[in-house]
Amino acid sequence: MDGGFVLGPGLLRLSQAYLDALDPVRAFTEQVSRLGDREETLQLATMEGADVVYLAVHEGTVLMRPTSRTGARLPVTCTALGKVMLAGRTDGEVRELLADRVPFASRTPWSITTLGTLLDDLRAARANGYAVDDQETAEGIVCVAVAVPGTATDGRPFAVSSSLLKSQATSGRVAAVVELISTVVRRMDGGRDRFPGDM
């Protein structure tokens, strides 16, 4: 190969082993494995700088156009995952973090591009306990996310999300998905409550 380097399967295995060694990834994998056959796809992510980094994805039985994959990065400003993790910071910390990104990049016509609107969303996320991305990352897709309590590693937060088709994102359906995600994250943190639908 003329002295060049080729990334082989060994590096991929090493990378996956690193991810699996992170306690939140292991806890997420353990908890979603208990869900059984459910239609929801769940994603675990962390925040690096002003980006969301996807660490693990649990595929549901209903296939949707993918908006994320393990290892993918998206801006914190247009994702429910990013917003719910930002909500754990003060408004001043958020302003400092995102100062050089204003106006924010727009991925869809619904993407938030101003700091003021984002801060309003973060206040709502703090009050509600979850954040919403209403077609801000992908047209036709609504995503909801809940922060994982008690698992910050080296100051990094973690959160879990799930996506819905906009046409199916009724208030009742969103509430049910938020309940499911909230149960997963509580169990990741050592909680013992049942999953919705458990006998």
- pLDDT tens digits for range 99-123: 999 999 999 999 999 999 999 999 9
The pLDDT tens digits of the residues spanning 124-163 come to 999 999 999 999 999 999 999 999 986 454 578 999 999 9
User: What's residue 127's pLDDT?
Assistant: 97
User: What's residue 193's pLDDT?
Assistant: 52
Q: CA-CA distance, 196 to 199, in Å (whole number)?
A: 9
Please list the alpha-helical segments (H only) found in 109-192: 115-128, 171-188
pLDDT score of 70 more than 60:
yes
Strands 73-75 and 131-134: unpaired
Over range 165-174, report the average pLDDT: 94
For the chain, domains (ranges, CATH) are 44-188 (3.30.450.40)
User: What's residue 199's pLDDT?
Assistant: 34
The whole-chain average pLDDT of the chain stands at: 84
- Residues sharing a CB contact under 8 Å with residue 11, sequence separation 6 or more, in sequence order: none
What global pTM score does this model have?
Answer: 0.81
